[in-house]
Chains A and B, each alone.
Chain A
Amino acid sequence: MPVSDLANPTRFLAWSRPLLAVLWVVAVAGLAAGLYMSFFVSPPDYQQGEMIRIMFIHVPFAWLSMACFGFMAVASLGFLVWRHPLADVAAKAATPIGAAFTFLALVTGSLWGKPTWGAYWVWDARLTSVLVLFIIYLGLIALRQAIEDPGRAARVAAILTLVGSVNVPIIKFSVDWWNTLHQGESIFRAGGPTIYATMLWPLLVMIAAMTVLFAALVVMGMRNEIYRRRVRSLEMMAAGA
């Protein structure tokens, strides 16, 4: 069966149902293990004490806020260049999920910042560029609501997504380019992670589990979007009959 067959919406609905069940089982099991390790395996930090517990959700959300936008940029390219039938479905389904994860990255970071930095918010390069990302997500959601014709909305959203994706490397390297209050890279560094193993493993498990949770939510969103488009085409057929 050629890979392109997987792109057929009807076939996607068929094979994504069992996939969804597997994703949910792995996500729930991963989150349970991750949360247990975060609270019972990881020791308190020698400087921040128990505040380190917020790291185990803040870092996964920050990673997924950028990864989701990267996913949407690839889907937008797939839509504009190859007219892939599921590309726009994927990009549209992922947008609200990415917005929610970015919101959670900002809120958990703010709740971590107040006791640690003494402020809920500072116009720091990392924080500001993530806020810009959140505003772009909201803009994409509003754009799709504002344009009646789905085809036109898809093209405009794809272009805005590709233009907005320049912000992702800015977020990633903001801690290197500017003198930021937000700390630099701690895991994927040339010199190796700066986090001790008893904290690093719970964090990696939480990142993996949240990534699987994200995948499950996107697949759910894509299925809903396919049904929504079918309803719309049937309603137009019924109105035209």
Chain B
Amino acid sequence: MPELSYHGGFILAAYAVTAVVLAGMLLWMLLDGRAQKRRLAELEARGVRRRSAPVPPAAPAGAAP
């Protein structure tokens, strides 16, 4: 490991800011994706369907509900 001289504080600060911003962006994108998928599942559970979405197979007549 290089001997971080007097300027070590600047180097560590640069890498720390980088880690915080990249980790924050990744966390935001993961949470956003999870929220959109959860909302989409709720809507589809209520029977709301896109016109181009595949229609689920109808239950055979007389089948138990």
Cross-chain contact B25 with A231 (CB below 8 angstroms): no
Q: How far, in Å, is B26 (CB) from chain A's closest CB? A: 7
Cross-chain contact A57 with B14 (CB below 8 angstroms): yes
In the complex, which residues of chain B have a beta carbon less than 8 angstroms from the beta carbon of A39? 1-2
**A228: CB under 8 A from chain B?**
yes
**A51: CB under 8 A from chain B?**
yes
In the complex, which residues of chain A have a beta carbon less than 8 angstroms from the beta carbon of B25? 96-97, 100, 217
Which among A73-81, A145-153, A233-241 touches the partner chain? A233-241
| Interface size class, chain A | 35 or more
Give CA–CA (A237, B48) in the complex, Å.
7
Cross-chain contact A51 with B10 (CB below 8 angstroms): yes
Q: How far, in Å, is A200 (CB) from chain B's closest CB? A: 18
Give CA–CA (A198, B51) in the complex, Å.
58
Choice from B10, B22, B30, B48 contacting A234 with Cβ under 8 Å: B48
Cross-chain contact B1 with A108 (CB below 8 angstroms): no
Q: How far, in Å, is A186 (CB) from chain B's closest CB? A: 18
Q: How far, in Å, is A207 (CB) from chain B's closest CB? A: 14
Knowing that A228-B36, A231-B43, A234-B48 are A-B contacts, what are 12 other residue pairs whose CB atoms are under 8 Å apart, sorted by A's residue number? A10-B52, A49-B7, A57-B18, A96-B25, A111-B11, A111-B17, A220-B33, A224-B29, A231-B36, A231-B39, A235-B43, A237-B48
Residues of A in contact with B (beta carbons under 8 Å apart): 10, 39-40, 44, 49-51, 53-54, 57-58, 61, 96-97, 100, 103-104, 107-108, 111-112, 114-115, 213, 217, 220-221, 223-224, 227-228, 230-231, 233-235, 237-238, 241
